[in-house]
Structure 1
Amino acid sequence: MSKAKAAKKKKVHSDRKTVRMKIVLSATCEACPTPCARGIRYRERMRMPGAVGRGVPCILTRTVG
């Protein structure tokens, strides 16, 4: 396919905003001054023996972009 015949992609502008949150581990949730329900559940799960955690999205670190 030559460069002249390559299809150009149209940019679609969406009115929808994306929300991003940082992933935090249980140590960060423990030190949080305003604990949320999701963080409390995650901390309790991580206190069990053999628990493996990958973190939870923190609502306090939310950014809209």
Structure 2
Amino acid sequence: MSKGKGKAVKKQKSPSERKQAVLKMVLSGTCAVCKTPCARGMRYLESMQEPGAVGKGVPCILTRTYI
């Protein structure tokens, strides 16, 4: 076998070294006025329109930050 050009092997980062995404929890009022509505937010907004609905929010993908 010849040892010619090959692909460089990347060292994988351990799970503790990777960036972790954090999403903020938003309520239905925030989803109602959002400029770029997402499917998850609209589904949550519809479910909160039901009488007696209790919600604790939904993670918003537009508020993603990495730590």
Give the TM-score of the pair, scaled to structure 1. Answer: 0.76
Counterpart in the other structure of 2:43 = 41
Identical amino acids, percent of aligned pairs: 63
2:63 maps to 61
When you count strand as a share of all residues, which structure comes out higher? Answer: 2
What is the identity, as a one-letter code, of the residue corresponding to 1:57? Answer: P
Cα distance in 2 between the residues matched to 1:64 and 1:15:
12
Q: 1:17 to 1:47 in 2, by over 3 A?
A: same
Aligned mates of 2:36, 2:15 — CA distance in 1: 36
Q: Counterparts in 2 of 1:1-65, with a 5 A limit?
A: 14-65=16-67
Please provide the CA RMSD for this pair. Answer: 1.6
Alpha-carbon spacing, 1:26–1:15, altered in 2? closer, same or farther (3 Å): same
Higher helix share: 1
Q: TM-score, normalised by structure 2?
A: 0.74
Q: List runs of 5+ in structure 1 lacking aligned partners.
A: 1-11
What is the total number of aligned residue pairs between the two structures?
54
Shift of 1:13: 7.7
Please list every run of 5 or more consecutive structure 2 residues that lacks an aligned counterpart in the other structure.
1-13
* AA in 2 matched with 1:26: S
